[in-house]
Structure 1
Amino acid sequence: MEFKSALNNVRVSPRKMRLIANLVKGMNAQKAQAQLGSFIKKDAILILKLLNSALANVKHNFSDEIKPENLFISKIVVEGGPMLKRWLPRAMGRATPLMKRTCSVKLVLAEIKPGTQKIKVKKSQPEILKPEEASVQPAEIKEEKAEIEKEEGLKDMAPSRPYDASGQSKKRHSARQTFGNIKKVFRRKSI
């Protein structure tokens, strides 16, 4: 059986986080804890916390059936998260963009030897209503769908353009929005 745990929006570059994640992939959970505890890097501490959280979840939810010695890291995936975009002031009033990268880590623990006891998961069955018991009749549903389609038809109309149809005005509008034409961030003289 697999046990999943995730760590989202960590303020560490995914490239740096993958270096540590690849070291513990496929390791026994307890060996991975010892390995991560010996690293000095910030990334190792974060992955160790995630691993401890996953083991605590297993212990809390399945205390009788599964032992932590029988678990290993079957999969650990590091994906890029949203970037924080900042500016760094440079010489002569210019600015350089900074991309502060974030990542999300997904950890999957699995059993080394599958347990003899199967864990029972209750599946709920949906209730089936008879047509007489239903509060909304089919005719009312059709009327509501027709009203919704009319409203959606009005929403699908194309928005007006911020520029005229001519090519020159379109070029003028896009030229103002380009990255290189941003006004100087720090002015030397007041206006």
Structure 2
Amino acid sequence: MEASAKLRYLRASPRKVRLVADQVRGKPVGTALSQLKFSPKRAARPLAKLLESAVANALSQDPNLDPDTLWVKTLRVDGGPIGWKIMPRAMGRAYWVSKRTSHIEVVLTDAERA
């Protein structure tokens, strides 16, 4: 059985979110959550909430499921839309600053690993 959850438009750069996602991909959910809890990265907290949401989705599909048997099958981080902001500079100039967003999708499964 598989369960998934999505987080869209997270105001964090996909490159920085992928650093955290690489640490928990393919691990059991309990290990992944404890890893995220002690991670100093800012993207760790939204990823932990997303994993908890995916576990809740799995339990709503099958109430008899043991959450300890779940593991992270896929964890995909894609880039979302880029917002632009103007930063004033000297002598009347202005620079464009890009504010990146991320879309994250996680899939949990209780099947045995191949």
Q: Distance in 2 between matches of 1:76 and 1:61?
A: 20
Kept in 1, the 8 Å contact 2:2–2:58? The answer is no
Deviation at 1:40, TM superposition (A): 2.2
Q: Which residue of 1 aligns with 2:57?
A: 57
Counterpart for residue 127 of structure 1:
none
Q: Secondary structure at the residue paired with 1:63?
A: coil
Q: In the alignment, is the contact (CA less than 8 A) between 1:10 and 1:102 conserved in 2?
A: yes
1:14 and 2:20 aligned: no
Q: Which residue of 1 aligns with 2:97?
A: 98
Corresponding position of 1:162? none
TM-score between both structures, scaled by the size of structure 2:
0.94
Partners of 2:93 and 2:5 lie apart in 1 by: 43
Q: How does 1:62-141 map to 2 (within 5 A)?
A: 62-64=62-64, 66-113=65-112
User: How far off is 1:112 after superposition?
Assistant: 3.8
Which of the pair is proportionally richer in strand?
A: 2
Which runs of no fewer than 5 residues in structure 1 stay unpaired?
Answer: 115-191
How far, CA to CA, are the matches of 1:78 and 1:113 in structure 2? 24
| Deviation for aligned residue 1:67 | 1.3
Give the unaligned 5+ runs of structure 2: none
Identity %: 38
Contact 1:70/1:113 (<8 A) preserved: no
Distance in 1 (CA, whole Å) between partners of 2:17 and 2:89 is 29
Q: Give the Å deviation of 1:93.
A: 0.6
Shift of 1:98: 0.5
CA distance in 1, matches of 2:5, 2:35: 19
Kindly tell me the number of residue pairs found equivalent between the two proteins.
113
User: What is the TM-score normalised by the length of structure 1?
Assistant: 0.57
CA RMSD between the two structures: 1.3
Cα distance in 1 for residues equivalent to 2:29 and 2:18: 18
Tell me which structure has the larger Cα radius of gyration: 1
| More relative contact order, 1 or 2 (CA 8 Å, 6+ apart) | 2
Segments of 4+ in structure 1 off by > 3 A? none
Q: In 1, distance between residues paired with 2:27 and 2:51?
A: 12
| Local SS of the residue matching 1:42 | coil
2:74 partner letter: K
Q: Does 1:5 align with 2:5?
A: yes
> Is the CA contact 2:27–2:71 (under 8 Å) kept in the aligned structure 1?
yes
Contact 2:4 2:57 in 1 (8 A): no
